[in-house]
Structure 1
Amino acid sequence: MFVLSGEHPTLPTAEAVAAIKAEHRAYRVLEQLNQVLVAETKASPEVLASRLAMCREICVHLCTAHASKEDILESVGSSDIVDLVPHGKSFAVHLKRVKRSSPEIDTLKLAKTIANTIAEEVEFKVDLAHPDIELLGVLTGEQCTLGITTARVNRRQLARRKPTLRPAFHPSTLMPSFARCMINLARTPRGGMLLDPFCGVGGILLEAGLIGAKLVGIDINREMVEGARKNLE
């Protein structure tokens, strides 16, 4: 289950699928909701999280329910959640809302109710800040999809690499999230070769290098090439 950023209507989903393909793993899309993609794959969540830009969390999908308190609690109760929460581990339930989905649901109260329901079967310690295990629910449209968080995308690192903070800047440079997305859409494999024939000051090359690709950059403007070299050092 991919919890997507929503910064573009189609690119986050396309990037997630392309990243799976870049890792040479099979996949099957099970559900495609607003800012949520549920897919069956054996690709490593940690590896995918290290590649992706337009995703927030990757979870083991448990269930999808109609966005009502009763249906959500019923789906959680009939899921495998009890088998996935070891006794004695710290645990938290967090619910997110996509835009204005299900405004009638109080996410804090429902999260507490879900936690209490699970506590009837499993002994755990509540830790909302740094839990060993997090059950994440996303209210999206008329659905609520829930899963156990297994990996997070470090989007703060993307922000720290914004073009204006680099040694060489040019206004045509893509923002890191879009550059990384392009790398994944090209299905660039780790350890594979990426050629950027119009590399500019190296925004795409930088993101490709960070996933472990071998880099070749070309530009008609020598100053751009020198700028790319500085940014990649």
Structure 2
Amino acid sequence: MRFDFQEKRREKMKYLFLLGRNIELSVAEIKSFFERDKTSYKIISKIKNSILIETDKNLKGIVEKLGGAISMGEVIAEGNFEKLSKELDKLNLYSGKSNKLNYVVFDFHGKHFTDILLYLKNRFREEKLKATEKKLTGNVKLQSGEIVPNVISNRVNEQYFVFEDNFGRIIETCDYEKIEKRDMEKPVRREALSISPRLAKILINFSGIKEGETLLDPFCGIGTILQEALLKNMKVIGIDKDKSAIRDAGTNLEWFGFKTSDYKLINEDSSKAKIQNADAIATEPDLGELQKKFPSLEKARQVVSGFEGLIIKVINNLKKNVKGKIVFTTPLINTGKNKIECDFKKIASETGLRIAEGFPINEFREDSIVGRSIVVMKR
């Protein structure tokens, strides 16, 4: 008798995360998510754009809550090939109803990768499945410049992986089409100036805020961070000095059908606005005007200096009414020769806060002129 692998859970489970293009950012988000929920975990290993984690918590449903994870898989067998194959003999590896199976196998320094490929081929043949191993024809270019393989075909029924001496199955994948459709269909969009839902989720997770708590976005724009927090069953306060942005944020939040009692929109300057208590801040301020060519060193420093002055004023105005972390992005400007960033020690010194360990984390594309640094500050 063979068992579904989900029925044979162990006390400690191992999970594989396939990460987005910015590995450092994705790993930091996962750590923040676990720390918020007080989940005990151990990072076993990191290979390419993957990370293997051991925990005693069932992580089902986590991928849709993260912004930096492509997929999550569960280890179902481990050890040398003899031990691993005996374990797999007891498990159902395909639960689909169709007799036709297309599958892929990720290789993360798999110690028995070739043997496992042959095992799967023979196993599916014995089960009289018309099984075909598909190659990983897609690619993800990491922020580091490294190219790693990825699945792009929707004709793949199952995804397996070999990570060192662990074998597992991908059980959750981010539904990018659903997220993009949701973002494209909302009434008001400002593509050039709007933060992505993916990055909004990451900033919210860095804030450590929980369901039912209140998140403040002092540069809310048309409300992307607000909408993602509300979708996580949080309450929000949005501030923006642009009257049309506040109006558009209201239009978008109304379109989503959120309760008006769960959000408050304020048309004011965040360096002067008065608010009731919030549990954390997550925001992307204006990172400066769009650049069509590399700015001079002097111009880049001017933009960064102006930003420093603004964010210091805003933090000093709001911090007394914010219990927890303050998460924000800052401009990272490419002059063609150098990347100019904010003076984070100055921001910390003049606000009386400290920068969390591991931050700032840079987020940029190789062809971009203005990227961002992501900062987490706390008392």
**Residue among 210, 214, 218 paired with 2:239:** 218
8 Å Cα contact 1:4/1:13 also seen in 2: no
8 Å Cα contact 1:194/1:216 also seen in 2: yes
How far residue 186 of structure 1 moved from its aligned partner, in angstroms, is 1.8
Q: Which residue of 2 aligns with 1:85?
A: 92
Q: Which residue of 2 aligns with 1:54?
A: 68
User: What amino acid sits opposite 1:185 in the alignment?
Assistant: F
Where in structure 2 are the equivalents of 1:161-172 lying within 5 Å? 161-162=182-183, 165-170=185-190, 171-172=192-193
Q: Which residue of 1 aligns with 2:106?
A: 96
**Residue among 195, 202, 225 paired with 1:204:** 225
Identity %: 20
Look at both structures and tell me which one has the larger radius of gyration over its CA atoms.
2
User: What amino acid sits opposite 1:113 in the alignment?
Assistant: L
Change (3 A) 1:74 1:18: farther
8 Å Cα contact 1:49/1:153 also seen in 2: yes
Task: Give ranges in structure 1 of 5+ residues lacking alignment.
Answer: 66-70
Query: What is the DSSP-based 3-state SS (H/G/I as helix, E as strand, rest coil) of the residue aligned with 1:169?
Result: coil
User: What amino acid sits opposite 2:198 in the alignment?
Assistant: S
- Work out the CA distance in 2 between the residues paired with 1:145 and 1:118: 18
Query: What is the DSSP-based 3-state SS (H/G/I as helix, E as strand, rest coil) of the residue aligned with 2:60?
Result: helix
Query: What is the DSSP-based 3-state SS (H/G/I as helix, E as strand, rest coil) of the residue aligned with 1:15?
Result: helix
8 Å Cα contact 1:29/1:39 also seen in 2: yes
Change (3 A) 1:77 1:10: same
User: What amino acid sits opposite 1:136 in the alignment?
Assistant: Y
How far residue 118 of structure 1 moved from its aligned partner, in angstroms, is 4.6
User: What amino acid sits opposite 1:198 in the alignment?
Assistant: F
Q: Which residue of 1 aligns with 2:119?
A: 114
User: What amino acid sits opposite 2:196 in the alignment?
Assistant: M
User: What amino acid sits opposite 1:166 in the alignment?
Assistant: K
- Work out the CA distance in 2 between the residues paired with 1:125 and 1:23: 42
Q: Which residue of 2 aligns with 1:31?
A: 45
How far residue 76 of structure 1 moved from its aligned partner, in angstroms, is 4.1
8 Å Cα contact 1:49/1:58 also seen in 2: yes
How far residue 123 of structure 1 moved from its aligned partner, in angstroms, is 5.2
- Work out the CA distance in 2 between the residues paired with 1:2 and 1:138: 10
How far residue 51 of structure 1 moved from its aligned partner, in angstroms, is 0.1
8 Å Cα contact 1:200/1:224 also seen in 2: yes
Q: Which residue of 2 aligns with 1:68?
A: none
Change (3 A) 1:11 1:32: same
User: What amino acid sits opposite 2:118 in the alignment?
Assistant: T
8 Å Cα contact 2:161/2:170 also seen in 1: no
- Work out the CA distance in 2 between the residues paired with 1:35 and 1:155: 18
User: What amino acid sits opposite 1:10 in the alignment?
Assistant: E
How far residue 144 of structure 1 moved from its aligned partner, in angstroms, is 7.8
- Work out the CA distance in 2 between the residues paired with 1:74 and 1:6: 33
8 Å Cα contact 2:16/2:50 also seen in 1: yes
- The TM-score, its normalising length taken from structure 2, stands at 0.47
**Residue among 190, 195, 202 paired with 1:181:** 202
Structure with the larger RCO, 1 or 2 (CA within 8 Å, 6+ apart): 1
8 Å Cα contact 2:103/2:156 also seen in 1: no
How far residue 33 of structure 1 moved from its aligned partner, in angstroms, is 1.8
How far residue 201 of structure 1 moved from its aligned partner, in angstroms, is 1.0
